[in-house]
Amino acid sequence: MNIFFALIIPTFAGFLLTSLLLKKEDSGIVEKLALGYGLGLGMLSMQIFFMGLLAIGFRFLPMLAGQLIIIALLIYLNLRYGRMSCVSVISSTSFAPGSCACSFSLPGGSKAAKLVAGLALIWIILKCLFVLYEDFTRPLFAVDTWSNWAAGAKFFYYEGSMLLDPESEHYFGRDYRLFMGHPLHTVFLQLWQALWLGSFHEVLVKSWSAFYFIAFLIVFYFTVKRESGSFRALLWTLFVSTAPLLVYHGTEGLADLPLTYYSFLSVAFMWRYIKTERGGLLIVSGVFAGMAVFTKNEGLLVFTTLLFTLVVFTLVRGRAKSEKAYAFVRFILPFVIVAGPWLLFKFLGDFGFGHSGAGSEMAWLSDPTYAEGTRTGLHIEVIPIGLWEIFVDKANFNLTIPFWLVLSVIGLREWISSEIKYLYLIIIMIVGAFFFIYLTLEVTAVTEATGIHRNALLYLPIIAFASAMVLEKLLSNVGDKSS
């Protein structure tokens, strides 16, 4: 039971923040809860990080007090600036437009469509139940989960602090945190769970993972639904939920699934901004990009890509300088608030981005984990190997990527002439950045398949979303012509 409280409390805080940030948007309670889950856990890990910096002991009561203070503050802000009435914080939003709290009906017009929707929904629910079962049943099993993320959490838990004494042998978890430059979000989530449980339970400390899977599917569904309607959104969600690697990650306490969640949302809100130009959406995009950085180093690729996309978008739209500046501030400031302290701390501590104990040991054009004596230079061999890995040798993503490629060719006219081109810009930049890293730095990520697939998990939902948008355009265009 403690585990659920451990998740419900930050989710409620996240829900309140979502209600505040999206007060002018049409999000219903289910979507807000799914968004609030990630936001709330993000605020929680930020809180723990600050407590660690301020040398406030990692004990249950101070942590809980911190959460309650955040909740109280958010309730006040909602009542003061949000759309909530004084009567009840929850009841005012639980019947908001788009909410499915009061009524539920299967999407689809005809009986056959309803049958398909029903089967798809059952399939998705079964998948979620499976992920929940595995997450709550298996102990931490992947070597890099326990030896890195969980080892850091377990050390902090028993140490009661981040041990920021530079004289200490285990300063900031050294030796236990194999990669000192790796961000702390999932480490702190395990620490939080352990504090609620009263011990570092090898199974339950990762119970947040399955809920990231579920929350991700929900936000993906609502994002597609806004553009394609509920029936197609449900099918797209089923399609994405059958990606085996996504399911696999939902059962373990790694950081890749939360990264997928935050990255997708930062892109989704940027997309909504591009379509509507409502500035508040940029703030949310910036917050999620910041959380992506606080979850994994790869989040920086997402942020820089989105920043570049915003530059291109504002140049193409040709707005006044003040308007442009305001847009950038709205995106960058929340990002800096969320990710800035961590990046500053990382810079000051010289923890770096690489895969060794500490320091910025980037060895350009040579992968330190590649076989000794291997030539240095651009490792072109990763391209054919990478393509073989992604398209043939492994079965990680269902047919999302080939389908996207085919749609991109068929719908070339459609996506180039619409806002969808910005999604393509994001995808091309992220994939390009990864391949640049493979070509120059992390060769074994491809040749030994240690990174290429989990990296692809980051852009998988963005590709699926872009495919949904292109397909929508294609179907509406051919529909228009036929009518």
Partner 1 sequence: MTLSRCHAKMVSIVTRRSLHRGRSFSFCLLFFIFSLLTIPSSLPAAQPGEGSHLFDFESKGEIANWQVVRGSLAAKGGVLLINEGFFPVLYSPGSLDIPASESLLQFSYRGAVRGTCEITIFSSSAPRGIKKKFYLDGDSAGARSNGGQWHKREIYIGNILSKDDRILAFNLTFPGRIKGLEIDSIGFQEPGGAGLAKAVWFSFLEREPIGTGSINYINSPLIGSWHFMTLLYIFIGLAFLIIVLYLIVRKKAVLGRRTAINAVVAAFILASLLFALRMDYNWVRLYCSDLKDFSGKSEKERISALYMGASDDFFSFIEAIKQKLPPGEMARPAGRPIADPRYNPALMLRYYLLPKKSSAEARYVWVYYDRAISYDPALRVLRQNGRLIERDVVPVLSTEPAAVLYRVGGGA
Query: What are the residues binding partner 1 (CB under 8 A)?
Result: 112, 115-116, 119, 123, 127, 130, 133-134, 137-139, 141-144, 146-147, 150-151, 154-155, 158, 169-170, 175-176, 200-203, 235, 238-239, 242, 244-245, 247-249, 252, 254, 256, 389, 391-396, 398-399, 402-403, 406-407, 410, 449-451, 453-454, 471, 474-475, 478, 481-482
Q: How far is the CB of 441 from partner 1 (least distance, A)?
A: 18
User: Of 441, 447, 450, nearest to 363 (Cα)?
Assistant: 441
Where b means 16+ CB within 10 Å and e means fewer, 320-332 reads: eeeebeebbebbb
Pick 321 or 481: Cβ nearer partner 1: 481
Tokens describing residue 168: 């200490």
Pick 293 or 407: Cβ nearer partner 1: 407
Pick 312 or 399: Cβ nearer partner 1: 399
Q: How far is the CB of 465 from partner 1 (least distance, A)?
A: 16
Q: How far is the CB of 175 from partner 1 (least distance, A)?
A: 7
Amino acid at 251: T
Residue where the block lists tokens 């240690």: 450
Contacts of 213 (CB under 8 A, 6+ apart): 128, 131, 246, 247, 249, 250, 257
Q: How far is the CB of 478 from partner 1 (least distance, A)?
A: 4
Pick 169 or 372: Cβ nearer partner 1: 169
User: Of 31, 27, 37, nearest to 96 (Cα)?
Assistant: 27
Distances (CA, A) of 186 to 90, 330, 351, 374: 28, 27, 18, 35
Pick 54 or 112: Cβ nearer partner 1: 112
Pick 361 or 393: Cβ nearer partner 1: 393
Please count the other Cβ atoms lying within 10 Å of the Cβ belonging to residue 401. 20
User: Of 45, 4, 20, 16, nearest to 262 (Cα)?
Assistant: 45
Q: How far is the CB of 238 from partner 1 (least distance, A)?
A: 8
DSSP 134-189: HHHHSPS-SHHIIIIIIHHHHHHHHHTS----TTSTTGGGBTTBSSTTS--HHHHH
Pick 31 or 252: Cβ nearer partner 1: 252
Q: How far is the CB of 348 from partner 1 (least distance, A)?
A: 25
Tokens describing residue 367: 């992968």
Pick 18 or 444: Cβ nearer partner 1: 444
Q: How far is the CB of 457 from partner 1 (least distance, A)?
A: 10
How is residue 443 annotated by DSSP?
A: T
Q: How far is the CB of 62 from partner 1 (least distance, A)?
A: 20
Pick 86 or 392: Cβ nearer partner 1: 392
Please count the other Cβ atoms lying within 10 Å of the Cβ belonging to residue 358. 17
Give Cα 396 to chain centroid, integer Å: 18
Handedness of CA 116, 122, 474, 405 (dihedral sign): negative
Q: How far is the CB of 410 from partner 1 (least distance, A)?
A: 6
